[in-house]
Structure 1
Amino acid sequence: MSEKSALEELREDVSARARAYLDRARELIDFPGDAESLGEFLDPARRLLSGGKRTRAALLAAGYACATAEDREPAISAGAAAELYQTSALIHDDILDAASTRRSQPSAHVALARLHLSSGWSGDRAHFGTSSAILLGDFLLSLSTEAFADACAQVGPRAGRAALRAFARMTTEVAFGQYLDIRAENAPPAADSVGAALSVVAHKSARYSVVFPLRIGALLAGASGDVLDLLERVGAPLGEAFQLRDDDLGVFGDEEATGKPVCGDIAQGKRTVLLALMLERLNGADRGRLVGLLGKRIEPDDARWIQEAGIASGARSAHEDMIRRRETAALAALDALRNSGLALADGLAMAESLVFELIGRVS
């Protein structure tokens, strides 16, 4: 049996720590019936936390290890905070998108609506499911703040304050990015539709998924400004490539591997960069057909047509070029980080593994 890598161990430790924070919520149990209510309330969160690759937590730990060889406990607590926040964001995102599944399981609002139905309760089950899921997302956001406070308490006050500000900025930027996303679904098309879609990519996902985790980890370790700048040069193009790849997989990926329905973004009316490129290249009836499918149920024949149109129009090829340019920039920045001599060996090795893991992502 091969030994676990440092990243595998880190991911396991973060998962255990995140579950421990959920378990700590048992402190809320005061009265008869509280235990049952809390259990059913947290069940969708536990199921969501059982999946995922802990990529944000791993990037945070890499940023931390680039700047210090000290004990990684602060990075584990902060990584758990990042994963708890990610779970919160997923729950709220599924409500905004009216998504019925997440990671091949019922979305939280759907699961809680089913609880209402199976329990034979009165009232509107859909309203109960949505309201309860909003509260669960808020609960997890608060829990992530508690976990991050614990991380900050394990480092010096200056590093803790800087990291906390970055964590707070991350959560506010995601909220703004979500607004830009739903605004784009409802407002008239922007003159520069690709640029508008890239703005959503940056605010909603790219910085949140890569730049902020690297930065937060490095700040917890008290990193210098030079190290922070180098990490951001790696993270910014890598984060955009990460989201652009996610959008490609949403149309061309395997549903079992992604855990999301093929062309789900089209069904939800998402104005992705890939969609913008397709609309630029399609004409007449084909463009009209694609516009007509936005926000509608996508049947298998429709999904196949969208895939064929994306390829034949050259939109997917142009999209791939955008991904490759960003991946190339991230790799060049990684070389600069390596050659700077400023990053510690363990952190650099983790960062390199994660960069190549994200670039090699196919599902």
Structure 2
Amino acid sequence: MANDQLAGNLLRVVPEQPVGADEPIRAVLAEYTRDLVTAVDQTLAEFLAAEVDTLTEIDAAMGSFAATARDCVLAGGKRVRPTFAYWGWRGAVGGDEPVGPVLPALATLELLHTFALVHDDVMDSSATRRGRPTAHVAMAAQHAAAGRSGDSGRFGEAVAVLIGDLCMVWADQLLARTALPPTRLLEVRRGYDQMRVETVAGQYLDILGEADPANWSVDRALRVARYKTASYTVQRPLLFGASLAGVDHDAPLIAAYTRYGLSVGEAFQLRDDLLGVYGDPTTTGKPAGDDLRTGKPTALLMLARELATPAQRRALDGTDIRADAPEIARLAEVVVDTGAVDRIERMIDERVDDALTTLAAVAVDETARTALVGLATAATHRRA
């Protein structure tokens, strides 16, 4: 799509919507972001086609491996991170700047996201992602079907790690193609690197919490949410967009994006915690109840233990990794009975309110403000 057509579609007038009107806001956002998502996907597809061809020249098996990595990137997803980055950029530059020069940078965030997802699925031993087998499961199945020697599961995990690594390298390569002055691109890279460090830090804390649940707490679970999810899902993409626009570090817009991003990002993870237990697998693309089965110390489950009666605590502490569906359903009811679900819903609403209050007090492009108000609601009151 030509840049001027994309810009024109993104500049459609958005009707005023009350914050509580979730469905109209979602409809508006869908219209606003559809062309952006298409442009990001086209950027990724063109870049990845060339990269797959290059690796195929090394060896046919490398071509197959690279194609699997490409498919992980292009296999759906909501493109949340490029969307927040776009509106962070648009909030600073207004509606007259063409988006084409920064499209490689926006698409870079999707490659980074794929890296994180593929590695996270290995660490969590997840079987499905977006309704499909995860990368390590798919590669293990290929290994078994081909009758290769060695352990299929171990092979699948090793290849998935390499897929994630390749996506990280691809992200660096694509970011370098952004059409910005070198000094500005260097500033963009500094924020991008900080985002990656914070993602790794959050992931480590997530793993540590599973290994040491007795010493975990609601506060530490929220810290995981802050660094594993809020940083690289909302906050850093917004700041990434502002950096693409050349906004100074001490500008009021940076402070507003930082606070908005932290609040919405934490709320996003808290919604994820609820969906992990109560979501519909046909909508989320992942099985429900895995967090309960493994005792993963999410904010929801930490809060449930904190609020539980002695009998409820015994039920929650007695979770078995081999628990069947009826047992998991019973435990999910126990969590509701503790009051933890209602408390998490209030925490989500409080964070969204804080984000919207912050956004209302800063000078920002009005179209971007409307989109960010809608995104705060859509990202935190979703079903998948």
The alignment's TM-score, normalised by the length of structure 1, stands at 0.91
Call closer, same or farther: CA 1:301–1:188 in 2, change over 3 Å.
closer
What are the residue-to-residue correspondences of 1:9-158 with 2, within 5 Å?
A: 9-25=35-51, 26-31=53-58, 34-43=59-68, 45-68=70-93, 69-151=96-178, 154-158=179-183
- Bigger Cα displacement from structure 2, 353-362 vs 87-96: 353-362
Alpha-carbon offset, residue 281 of structure 1: 2.1
**CA–CA distance in structure 2, aligned partners of residues 235 and 358 of structure 1:** 12
- Are 2:307 and 1:286 aligned? no
CA offsets, 1:138-191, max 9 Å, x none?
A: 00000011111112xx1123321111111111111111111101111112523x
Confirm whether residue 307 of structure 1 aligns to residue 328 of structure 2.
no
Partner of 1:343: 364
Q: Would the aligned equivalents of 2:309 and 2:338 in 1 still touch at CA under 8 Å?
A: no
Structure 2: give runs of 5+ residues left out of the alignment.
Answer: 1-8, 13-29
Question: What is the aligned partner in structure 1 of residue 377 from structure 2?
Answer: 356
Letter matched to residue 209 of structure 2:
A
What amino acid is aligned across from residue 164 of structure 2 in structure 1?
Answer: G
The letter of the residue matching 1:300 is A
Shift of the alpha carbon at 1:43?
A: 2.0
Distance across 1 between alignment mates of 2:194 and 2:324: 40
Cα drift, residue 66 of structure 1: 1.0
What is the distance in 2 between the residues matched to 1:35 and 1:67?
46
Contact 2:37-2:83 within 8 A present in 1 as well: yes
Q: Which sits farther off after the overlay, 179-188 or 131-140?
A: 179-188
Q: 1:157 to 1:347 in 2, by over 3 A?
A: farther
C-alpha displacement of 1:41: 4.3
Alignment match, 1:272: 298
Change in CA separation of 1:335 and 1:23 when aligned onto 2, cut-off 3 Å: same
Letter in 2 for 1:194: V
Per the alignment, residue 16 of structure 2 pairs with none
Moved more, 325-334 or 278-287: 278-287
Letter in 2 for 1:238: V
* 1:202 corresponds to 2:213: no
Tell me by how many angstroms 1:233 deviates: 2.0
Q: Is residue 2:184 matched to residue 1:163?
A: no
Q: Answer whether contact 1:48 1:103 (CA < 8 A) is retained.
A: no
How far is the alpha carbon of 1:237 from its aligned partner? Answer: 0.5
Per-residue deviation at 1:44? 5.3
Q: Which moved more, 1:40-49 or 1:73-82?
A: 40-49
Question: Which secondary structure state, in structure 1, belongs to the residue aligned with residue 83 of structure 2?
Answer: helix
SS of aligned partner of 2:176? helix
Q: What residue number does 2:25 align with? A: none
| Structure 1, gaps ≥5 residues long | none
* Kept after mapping to 1: 8 A contact 2:139/2:155: yes
Q: State the 1:202 CA deviation.
A: 0.6
> In the alignment, is the contact (CA less than 8 A) between 2:352 and 2:377 conserved in 1?
no
CA deviation vs aligned residue, 1:16-64 (integer Å, no higher than 9, x gap): 2122222121122335xx2343224432541452211001100000011
Aligned residues: 352
Residue equivalent to 1:218: 242
Coordinate RMSD, CA, aligned: 1.9
Work out the percentage of aligned pairs sharing the same amino acid. 35
Residues 121 and 202 of structure 1: CA distance in aligned 2, closer, same or farther (over 3 Å) = same
Deviation at residue 132 of structure 1 after TM alignment: 0.5
1:331-359 per-position Cα deviation (integer Å, ceiling 9, x unaligned): 1112123xxxx322343343233223213
What SS class does the counterpart of residue 382 from structure 2 fall into?
A: coil
User: Within 2, Cα distance between the matches of 1:301 and 1:267?
Assistant: 12
Alpha-carbon deviation of 1:293? 1.6
Q: CA–CA distance in 2 between the matches of 1:73 and 1:239?
A: 27
Check conservation: 1:7, 1:350, Cα contact below 8 A.
no
